[in-house]
């Protein structure tokens, strides 16, 4: 795949349109984040809602806040498009939290999406072949995301990356269009809150999820509560670390974590940074 740099918003828009017209019918691996929501918006604009499906594959490790945002963003970006959630709970070995947990999850997810495209073909919807696509950007390729190798196994297309768009490019284009999700913070699987090899249970995943949502309600939109051994590590946006360290917020934070069975904790002085 040629990952070219984008020279201007207009050039980026034209290049993405060219790429999308080449794919014609898309089943989008939809997460509801900025990249996939922007891709949904552009796919519907270029191809029409009839030729686009947005499918979100979910399990207990997907935060509820992400699912709610995904639905809200789909309503904004994909007017008239079919949006469905496909639940899955069993992935062989995922509960053991192995180093290849992301690959296990992606493989299960893309298999479900492949089934969806097969169903569309059997029903004759759209009058032709459907392609599974995701919101991967050139940034994901530069970082060597593990899911990209699995995507290649299933022939998943990456229209944003094909058009030479980075994460920053997508956010800028979304902002230029006035899309409300342009500046939304990133979300990640709840399994990332635990060290590799430490077994995952629904109870522990939900405890972390409840704690993070309660901290968000305190006015911290980006939160990670990591149980990596020793005191829990609480991360918020770097620009809000100082505020969280205030006496009143620290008391509230301690109460929230205690309610979820988390005693000792530390606030990361550097704040959240993407790994």
Could you tell me which CATH class the domain 9-176 is placed in? Answer: alpha beta
The tens-digit pLDDT sequence of the chain (275 residues) is 544 444 566 688 889 999 999 999 999 999 999 999 999 999 999 999 999 999 998 888 999 999 999 999 999 998 889 898 988 766 677 888 888 888 888 888 899 899 989 988 888 887 788 999 999 999 999 988 888 999 999 999 999 999 999 999 999 999 999 999 999 998 889 999 999 989 889 999 999 999 999 999 999 999 999 998 899 999 999 999 999 989 999 999 999 999 999 999 999 999 998 76
Give the residue ranges of DSSP H helices in 24-136.
34-47, 64-77, 101-123
* Both structure tokens of 128: 């032709």
Q: pTM to 2 decimals?
A: 0.90
What CA–CA distances, in Å, run from 26 to 1, 126, 128, 274?
Answer: 19, 10, 11, 29
């Amino acid at each position: 795949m040629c990952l070219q740099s984008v020279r201007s918003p207009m050039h980026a828009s034209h290049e993405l349109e060219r790429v999308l017209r080449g794919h014609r019918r898309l089943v989008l691996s939809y997460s509801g984040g900025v990249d996939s929501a922007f891709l949904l918006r552009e796919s519907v604009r270029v191809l029409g809602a009839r030729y686009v499906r947005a499918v979100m594959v979910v399990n207990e490790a997907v935060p509820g806040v992400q699912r709610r945002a995904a639905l809200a963003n789909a309503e904004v970006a994909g007017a008239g498009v079919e949006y469905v959630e496909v639940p899955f709970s069993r992935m062989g070995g995922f509960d053991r939290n192995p180093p290849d947990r992301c690959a296990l999850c992606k493989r299960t997810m893309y298999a479900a999406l492949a089934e969806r495209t097969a169903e569309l073909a059997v029903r004759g919807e759209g009058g032709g072949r459907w392609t599974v696509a995701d919101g991967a950007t050139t940034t994901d390729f530069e970082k060597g995301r593990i899911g990209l190798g699995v995507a290649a196994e299933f022939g998943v297309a990456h229209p944003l990356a094909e058009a030479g768009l980075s994460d920053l490019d997508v956010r800028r284009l979304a902002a230029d269009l006035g899309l409300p999700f342009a500046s939304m913070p990133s979300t990640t699987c709840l399994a990332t809150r635990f060290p590799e090899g430490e077994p995952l249970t629904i109870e522990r995943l939900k405890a972390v999820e409840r704690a993070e949502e309660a901290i968000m309600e305190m006015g911290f939109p980006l939160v990670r509560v990591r149980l990596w051994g020793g005191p829990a590590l609480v991360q918020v946006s770097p620009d809000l670390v100082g505020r969280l360290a205030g006496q009143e917020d620290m008391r509230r934070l301690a109460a929230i974590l205690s309610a979820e069975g988390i005693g000792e904790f530390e606030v990361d002085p550097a704040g959240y940074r993407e790994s």
